[in-house]
Amino acid sequence: MSELTPGRLDPSVSAPDDLDEARPEIPDEQGVRRPQSLIDAMGPQADGNETGTSLWVGAFRRLRRDPAAIVGAVIVTAFILVAVLAPWLAPYRPGSVEWASQITPTSLPEFSSEHPLGLDPFGSDLLTQLIYGARQSLIIGIVSTLLGLAGGALLGILAGAFGGWVDTLVMRIVDILLSIPALLLAVSVAAIMGRRPEALMVAIAAAQVPVFARLLRGSMLKQRKQDYVLAANSLGLRRRTVVMSHVLPNSVGPVIVQATLILATAIIEVAALSYLGMGAPDPTVAEWGRMLVKAQERLESYPHLTLLPGICIAVTALGFTLLGEALREALDPKTRK
């Protein structure tokens, strides 16, 4: 019997024939044939689906298999297309009251081929108002979210990069803003700035700033403890280089996901503030929340005037929520399926 070297197999001993049959070689995505035993030992990542891919590429692959993400993406895509293509989809000009003579205090014209959804209480085509309402909600929602993201990112970077008394000061400001209900803060800002669309954007953004600031600050503090940051500091890199080139790019993932979720909230807040009279002073403006104000007077007789804008608001917010939650689960290792 030959003497074996530790850690090596005796070449004279061959594996049983049935082992090769039970463990066939399986080609991977690159065409390399690997034994099944090797694939089992390497785990589920040995098939090449997850290895060698970036975080966002892997997240996109998981999103394609998530039914909730698909439904949310379809809703959001349809909403954006309607908003962008509103001038070509709408049959009439928004806010047109050329049919106001057909409106009486107690009745509205019936549905017709010219007006498939009828007229609103001001004599405007309801379908046109709904289509252009999507554009108004999209513009205000995106701009307000970007403004809130910019302000929150500035505070979050200051707190996460410097720490110490700067972190304490910034977080106390954020805590004060968070102590005020978001809608109350938005109403206060809108009341100060006046009734115009720009006031809605700033008002909604002001309520979003502390959310983004706290989230980015926490993400940056977590990244600062990673080994690559310690290595960069040991090499003598400047703090600005470490923060802007290493810490910040690896901290923005949760913030981007939160922006998607907050966009749904922003659309609801746009409708809420418009309903409270904080939007444009013209009552004929094509905005979903504004359409609900006059429609409530005819709720019993013509419920579709209230239901249709309400459904548009709910479905749009649902789409952004589904997409944002699916994106969060796809990017978070703790919640990956």
Q: What is the pLDDT of residues 249-259, one digit of tens each?
A: 888 888 888 88
**In angstroms, rounded to a whole number, what is the distance separating the alpha carbons of residues 297 and 106?**
10
Token readout for 128 is: 């046109």
* pTM of this structure: 0.74
Mean pLDDT of the region 261-266: 88
At 73-92, the pLDDT tens digits run: 999 999 999 999 999 998 88
Q: Tell me the CA distances in angstroms from 44 to 40, 47, 51, 57, 164, one per residue in order.
A: 8, 7, 10, 17, 43
**In angstroms, rounded to a whole number, what is the distance separating the alpha carbons of residues 102 and 161?**
63
| 48 has a pLDDT exceeding 60 | no
Question: Who contacts 139 (Cβ-Cβ below 8 Å, separation ≥6)?
Answer: 83, 197
> Domains in the chain and their CATH numbers?
56-93+117-335 (1.10.3720.10)
Output the CA angle 135-194-316, nearest 5 degrees.
25
Output the CA angle 149-154-156, nearest 5 degrees.
90
